Amino acid sequence: MSSPLLAVEGLSISFPGEGGHMRVVDRVSLSVAAGETLALVGESGCGKSMTALAIMRLIPKPGRIEPGGRIQFEGRDLLSLSVPDMRAIRGARIGMIFQEPMTSLNPVTTVGDQVMEAIELHADIPREEARGRVMELFGLVGIPDPKSRFVAYPHQLSGGLKQRVLIAMAMAMRPRLLIADEPTTALDATIRAQILELLRDLSAKTGTAVLLITHDFGVVNEVADRVAVMYAGQIVEQGTRVELLSRPRHPYTQGLLRSIPKAEARGHRLEEIKGTVPRPGHWPSGCRFHTRCPFAFAPCPIEEPVRTPVSPTHAACCHLVEREVQP
């Protein structure tokens, strides 16, 4: 089997807090193959965005990646690269888009110039060629009338168009991996569907793999090939989209799925996961989900469940799975 494009192994991230360092991401392992879309799903504060920032080596200070973890990308160990080598990978081999298109663009520069700058940062090419590439990218991401949009300022574009500009910028150097952190959260439902379709098309057309960070299983359903579910700094379940959606084995994944609005559920109350997400770094003992889990039993607050395979491509961390009981 060929090695994955991205392999994260045993990644832990900590911040200084009361009484020492607090782990906000704890022994996370995941991989993304060339061309595939992996969705990293969980509620806010679970560590998914911090995991993405670690891959880009952009953890805000005073946070740190703890020794012992590894991040391999295209066969290179990202954690041992020099700052200039990492800067060369960021933006060129790994693109990133964020949730808030309003604040990610410079308000006083035209969007065409901003995408051109992204190209010129990594490629020593004549301005005319860079300009041509921007037009091509605008076409690729479905920006209508690229010529007039090139000279537009961000405030002259809708939220959906701004997000398309950011996707064009992230795709400017034809990266092998695109990290998209909640790319549709700030958009309304119709635009959200269009942006998800765009991500799917881009991945299919260019072969770019996508690591999609989201709290929304509706988004997962539309674009993911595989899914990793995070809770309280840890990955609690991983599998193909079909496996996770049709036969989720972790009670947290089951709870997230029950909270998705479904057409046939209109007029009915959606089920919420009871309780609140623990504060980052202040995780409960044993299984970190035991304070909210409807199936919690004696060992749960004491023993940490181990990763238990359910199939060659599906695994979950829950004592019930270890005991082969269907939660």
> Per CB under 6 A, does 320 bind ligand SF4?
yes
Which of 52, 65, 287, 310 touches ligand SF4 by CB under 6 A?
287
Nearer residue to ligand SF4 within complex by CB, 73 or 289? 289
Partner residues linked to 72 by β-bridges: 7, 77
Minimum gap (Å) between residue 1 Cβ and ligand SF4 = 30
> Per CB under 6 A, does 150 bind ligand SF4?
no
Q: What is the CA radius of gyration of the chain?
A: 21
Q: What is the rounded distance in angstroms from the CA atom of residue 140 to the CA atom of residue 183?
A: 17
> Per CB under 6 A, does 232 bind ligand SF4?
no
Pairing of strands 307-311, 37-41: unpaired
Q: What is the rounded distance in angstroms from the CA atom of residue 39 to the CA atom of residue 18?
A: 33
Give the three-state DSSP class for 51: helix
> Per CB under 6 A, does 248 bind ligand SF4?
no
Minimum gap (Å) between residue 286 Cβ and ligand SF4 = 7
Which part of the chain contacts ligand SF4 (CB under 6 A), choosing from 2-10, 47-55, 108-116, 317-325?
317-325
Q: What is the rounded distance in angstroms from the CA atom of residue 89 to the CA atom of residue 75?
A: 13
Partner residues linked to 8 by β-bridges: 30, 71
Please, what's the b/e burial string for 27-39 (b: 16 or more CB within 10 A of its CB; e: otherwise)? bbebbbbeebbbb
Which of 27, 31, 296, 308 touches ligand SF4 by CB under 6 A?
296
> Per CB under 6 A, does 305 bind ligand SF4?
yes
> Per CB under 6 A, does 169 bind ligand SF4?
no
Chain residues binding ligand SF4 by CB under 6 A are 250-251, 287, 289-290, 293, 295-296, 300, 305, 318-320, 327
